[in-house]
Structure 1
Amino acid sequence: MHSILRGVIAGTALALCTSFASATVLRFDDIVGPNGYAAVPAGYGGLDWSGSSWSVITAPEAPFTAHSGDGRIVMGWDGTDATSTIRFLAPTVFDGAWFAGYGEATVRFDLYLAGALVGSSETLGMSDTPAFLASGWTGTIDAVVVSSNLHAFYVMDDFSFQDAREVPEPATLALVLAGLGLAGAARRRRRG
């Protein structure tokens, strides 16, 4: 009986760790174009970029400092909040991204689910040293808008998210933890 209980506990712990360890980080280093510029492909990273006007920069260009590698994305001079929209193909928990740019630019995330605004992040001021902007929202979304006063004055890198189907709902997690607690109590009772 003890070996079965240990197996259940180990399997549950492994499943939980696997669920939490499945974040995706888009680094943009694998998109290379002529002269260090290229459009972000419409389905890049399993997301829908087709309504956006993001381009990848891989060439060094101050103050557009990459957080990791060489790739990072930038909006064109005609960029707007609407053209910065990135759509997720499944309910997603969005963690955030790294930004750098000119000091007069600011950014924030506006987070949407089924067309309704469900949250907004803090506002981040730019510098040539990359800084992380957290989404500030732990629920699921299906679109993120990078809102800015000056869209062509910043770059974004290491865009981080996780498919919500891979993250246990709080009620599921509570049931698993309660089950583990009961299993531990039963084991202690048998020993005593």
Structure 2
Amino acid sequence: MHSILRGVIAGTALALCASFASAAVLSFDDIVGANGYAAVPTNYGGLDWSGSSWSAFTAPEAPYTAHSGDGRIAMGWDGTDATSTIRFIAPTVFDGAWFAGYGEASVRFDLYLAGALVGSSDTLGLSATPAFLASGWTGAVDAVVVSSNLHAFYVMDDFSFQDASEVPEPATLALVLAGLGLAGVARRRG
């Protein structure tokens, strides 16, 4: 009985870990252009950047500090919330990204699914030290807008997301954890 129970627990834990294995982090380190600057390619990282005006650069430039590597992306002087939109090809769970920039600037994520606003993150004040801004939403989205009061005054790095079809719903996760708890109780009594 105990070996079966251990097998069930190990299999469940492995399945939960595997569901998070498809997480992706876009570091922008591989976008190289003339003089260290380049537009983010239309389908970079499997996402749709065609409606945005993001550019990548790798040259050191304070306070636009990269979180990892050298690459990060920024908006131009003509950047707006509309031109900061990043679209996912399929519904996706968006985790967040790292930001750095001038202290006068702040950023927030607005998250959309099928054209409807489904969530917004907290607002992050910036500095030269990169800070993570979590999306604040655990459901699926198909578009992320980086909302800011000063779009040309920040950079974004390590954009993190995962396939929504492989992330367990909170109710499913609760059931699995409850089952593991009951299995532990049964083992203790047996």
TM norm structure 1: 0.90
Deviates more, 1:155-164 or 1:15-24: 15-24
SS at match of 1:56: strand
**What is the Cα deviation at residue 8 of structure 1?**
2.1
**What is the Cα deviation at residue 21 of structure 1?**
4.5
Deviates more, 1:63-72 or 1:101-110: 101-110
Once the two structures are superposed, what CA deviation does each residue of 1:52-93 show, in whole Å capped at 9, x if it has no partner?
Answer: 110101111122111110000011121111110001122222
**What is the Cα deviation at residue 18 of structure 1?**
2.0
Q: Sort the Cα spacing of 1:80 and 1:181 in 2 relative to 1 into closer, same or farther, 3 A.
A: same
**What is the Cα deviation at residue 9 of structure 1?**
1.8
**What is the Cα deviation at residue 14 of structure 1?**
0.6
Sequence identity percentage: 90
Deviates more, 1:37-46 or 1:12-21: 12-21
TM norm structure 2: 0.91
Once the two structures are superposed, what CA deviation does each residue of 1:87-132 show, in whole Å capped at 9, x if it has no partner?
Answer: 1122222111111112222211111111111111122222211111
**What is the Cα deviation at residue 191 of structure 1?**
6.6
Q: Counterpart in 2 of 1:122?
A: 122
C-alpha separation in 2, matches of 1:25 and 1:62: 23
Q: Sort the Cα spacing of 1:150 and 1:191 in 2 relative to 1 into closer, same or farther, 3 A.
A: closer
**What is the Cα deviation at residue 23 of structure 1?**
2.3
Deviates more, 1:170-179 or 1:160-169: 170-179
SS at match of 2:10: helix
Structural RMSD (CA): 1.8
SS at match of 1:63: coil
Unpaired runs of 5+ residues, structure 2, are: none
C-alpha separation in 2, matches of 1:64 and 1:96: 18
Q: Sort the Cα spacing of 1:132 and 1:184 in 2 relative to 1 into closer, same or farther, 3 A.
A: closer
Unpaired runs of 5+ residues, structure 1, are: none
What is the number of equivalent residue pairs in this alignment?
A: 190
Q: Sort the Cα spacing of 1:152 and 1:191 in 2 relative to 1 into closer, same or farther, 3 A.
A: closer
C-alpha separation in 1, matches of 2:14 and 2:177: 13
Q: Counterpart in 2 of 1:190?
A: 188
